[in-house]
Amino acid sequence: MSATPTTIPASLTELLDDAALTLGQLARCCRVTPEWICTHVQAGVLQPLTGGAAGDWRFASATLTRARRIVQLEATFDADPQLAALAADLMEEVARLRGQL
């Protein structure tokens, strides 16, 4: 009998490390291209910790969770970046409110 891998939804995970991710690291973790990240930063959907050139950007570990949600929403519902960001905002707000209960 083989073990079935368990997938944990991003909404139930918490990143414990506050390490800043580079553009390339964030893209690899989300399985997207660096251009996808750049497009979403320019659209205001993702926020780097540091400004300047794209090669100098650093992202908070929480941005990884947000970016993965947006990737999933865009793929699942064929949503545009702004709509996926709105849905991610609402999901984050629900999680924050549940945490307060």
**pLDDT exceeds 60 at position 101:** yes
Instruction: Please write the tens of the pLDDT for every residue from 1-44.
Output: 555 655 655 544 555 466 789 999 999 999 999 999 999 999 99
Supply the pTM of this predicted model: 0.78
Indicate the helix (H) or strand (E) that contains 21.
strand 21-22
In 3D space, the residue among 14, 35, 15 whose CA is nearest the CA of residue 24 turns out to be 35
Backbone angles phi, psi at 60, to 5 degrees: -70, 155
- In order of their start, the domains of the chain are 17-100 (1.10.1660.10)
Backbone angles phi, psi at 22, to 5 degrees: -80, 170
Output the pLDDT for position 19: 75
